[in-house]
Amino acid sequence: MLACESLLLQSHLHLLPLLFFFFLIDMAATFIAFVFLLVLALCLETIEVHAFSASGWTKGHATFYGGGDASGTMALSTALFNDGASCGECFRIICDYQTDSRWCLKGKSVTITATNFCPPNFDLPNNDGGWCNPPLQHFDMAQPAWEQIAIYRGGIVPVLFQRVPCNKQGGVRFTVNGRSYFELVLISNVAGCGSIQSASIKGSNTGWITMSRNWGANWQSNSYLNGQSLSFRITTTDGETRVFPNIAPSNWQFGQTFTSSVQF
């Protein structure tokens, strides 16, 4: 009996290396799977989903300028314009019905984009014509937008406003103005936070060139980029960066607008 068991054991000894090999493969696969899951868990823990969110409500005033154009745009007072850094930001505005029920439309709101500056008038008092004087937070709205929240004859009304994410159709747009050695680029239709912190331009024969803010959403470069395709790198005021490669072809001309397929 013992002899039979001994013979049986000896007959399977040649399988031990093969069994050990499969054991190592199984252990390696288990280890790799463990490492993969560990790395995935760490990545998921450290990835931050970033999206611009609405601010709280603030009190201000609003009036309007005539005409039916640019209904989705407005000018900001000095306190809101921030030397042009606020250009492109979006605001939801409601007329403060509790404060002025005569001229406000109850429960109505409008969302518009800041595109211009309402200059102060220091010859007039802040409460009588000098509505854009600092430190007042004032919106000078296009008439069609104004009439969504207030009655035309009201003239000027108290409002509540909040900054909100900008929802845009299509990609970011680049309008190249200026002249040789002076590229003045209007960057518009920016979604998300809407406003730009920094911009760079790159010709097909150059590296990245830092642009400076000329005014509002207009950024300038003092380089000679004629005959080169143009790329842009934009960082918004909430820290999001996008690269827009070869937006303008090498035969671009001053005055042209180029729409990208990239958005924030």
Instruction: State phi, psi for 5 to the nearest 5 degrees.
Output: -65, -40
Question: 256 - beta bridge partners?
Answer: 176
Cα 233 from chain centre: 13
Condensed to tens digits (0 to 9), the pLDDT of residues 230-250 reads 999 999 999 999 999 999 999
- The Cα-based distances of 183 to 138, 145, 254 in angstroms read 32, 33, 8
pLDDT at position 35 is 43
Q: Which of 60-69, 186-195, 196-205 has the lowest mean pLDDT?
A: 60-69
pLDDT tens string 22-37? 555 665 556 555 544 4
Domains of the chain: 58-164 (2.40.40.10), 173-259 (2.60.40.760)
Arithmetic mean of pLDDT, 85-97: 97
Closest to 97 measured CA to CA, from 146, 150, 156 = 150
pTM passes above 0.85: no
Whether the per-residue pLDDT at 203 is higher than 80: the answer is yes
Q: Answer yes or no: are the C-beta atoms of 247 and 187 closer than 8 Å.
A: no
Least confident residue range of 5-9, 168-172, 177-181, 247-251: 5-9
Enumerate helices (H) and strands (E) in the chain, giving the number of each: 4, 15
Question: How long, in residues, is the chain?
Answer: 264
pLDDT at 28: 56
DSSP string of 92-131?
EEEE-TTT-TTTBPTT-EEEEEEEEE----TTS-TTTT-T
Note the pLDDT of residue 80. Answer: 96
Q: Which two tokens stand for residue 212?
A: 């400076």
Q: What's the pLDDT at 127?
A: 87
pLDDT score, position 66: 78
Q: Does residue 5 have a pLDDT over 50?
A: no
pLDDT digits (tens, 9 = 90+) for 44-77: 333 333 578 888 999 999 999 876 666 778 999 9
pLDDT at 107 over 60: yes
The whole-number average pLDDT for the span 115-128 is 93
